């Protein structure tokens, strides 16, 4: 009886282990899910996707009436709602204050928004070299804003999503953009879990 019980338990453990392995998706499958989620979001949001050549032909603008988003070479989709103050460009070591909404496209879920919370204004420092750009969130900064985002959403990471920096080739200070950011251009969490996000962002150089 003991042997039969042991055999039964072993078979159960094997089946559970096999099921767990069977449920584990490969990276390729996760990428396929991401692509499908982005396509569905674009369709359900009645977004018109334009090419970069069309975008440049329109003086680097997107038509809001047609709900246009340009698909950039990075894979990020961008809609420029307001280009900001023309000529007031971002520079190395500038601090940028940010209000934004973050929406998980894969799970159709609002994750975070500080658009209506004055005390939760986020900020990051922009750095640029001859070969790269980057952004670091400011936590507990002395410039008057809270810098809560790395603690509340990113699990302590202070790296700004690369997708957030892409628009600065086309916008100025006090700009407003909307972005669809694929996982590889997103937060650390997005990259690890292969999750695309939608952002509605207002930038202001401090």
Three-state SS for 4?
Answer: helix
Question: Which pLDDT score is estimated for 15?
Answer: 44
Domain 26-205 has CATH 3.10.50.40: yes
Question: Which pLDDT score is estimated for 169?
Answer: 96
Question: Which pLDDT score is estimated for 112?
Answer: 86
Backbone phi, psi, residue 121, to 5°: -85, 125
Per-residue pLDDT of the chain (206 residues), as tens digits, is 433 333 333 434 444 343 444 468 999 999 999 999 999 999 999 999 999 999 999 999 999 999 999 999 999 999 999 999 999 999 999 999 999 999 999 999 999 888 887 777 788 999 999 899 999 988 654 444 444 454 444 545 788 999 999 999 999 999 999 999 999 999 888 999 999 999 999 999 98
- Do 174 and 204 contact (CB within 8 A), yes or no? yes
Look at strands 133-137 and 122-128 and give their pairing.
Answer: antiparallel
Give the global pTM: 0.84
């Amino acid at each position: 009886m003991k042997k039969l019980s042991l055999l039964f338990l072993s078979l159960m453990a094997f089946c559970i282990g096999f099921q767990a392995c069977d449920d584990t998706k490969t990276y390729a499958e996760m990428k396929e899910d991401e692509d499908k989620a982005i396509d569905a979001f674009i369709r359900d949001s009645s977004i018109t996707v334009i090419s970069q050549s069309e975008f440049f032909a329109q003086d680097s603008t997107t038509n809001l009436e047609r709900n246009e988003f340009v698909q950039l070479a990075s894979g990020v989709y961008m809609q420029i709602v307001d280009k900001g103050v023309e000529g007031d460009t971002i520079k190395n070591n500038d601090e940028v204050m940010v209000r934004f909404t973050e929406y998980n496209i894969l799970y159709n879920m609002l994750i975070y928004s500080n658009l209506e919370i004055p005390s939760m204004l986020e900020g990051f420092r922009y750095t640029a070299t001859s070969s790269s750009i980057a952004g670091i969130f400011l936590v507990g900064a002395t410039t008057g804003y809270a810098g809560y985002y790395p603690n509340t959403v990113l699990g302590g990471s202070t790296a700004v999503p690369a997708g957030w920096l892409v628009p600065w080739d086309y916008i100025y200070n006090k700009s407003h953009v909307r972005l669809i950011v694929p996982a590889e251009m997103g937060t650390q969490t997005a990259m690890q879990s292969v999750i695309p996000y939608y952002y509605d962002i207002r930038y202001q150089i401090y």
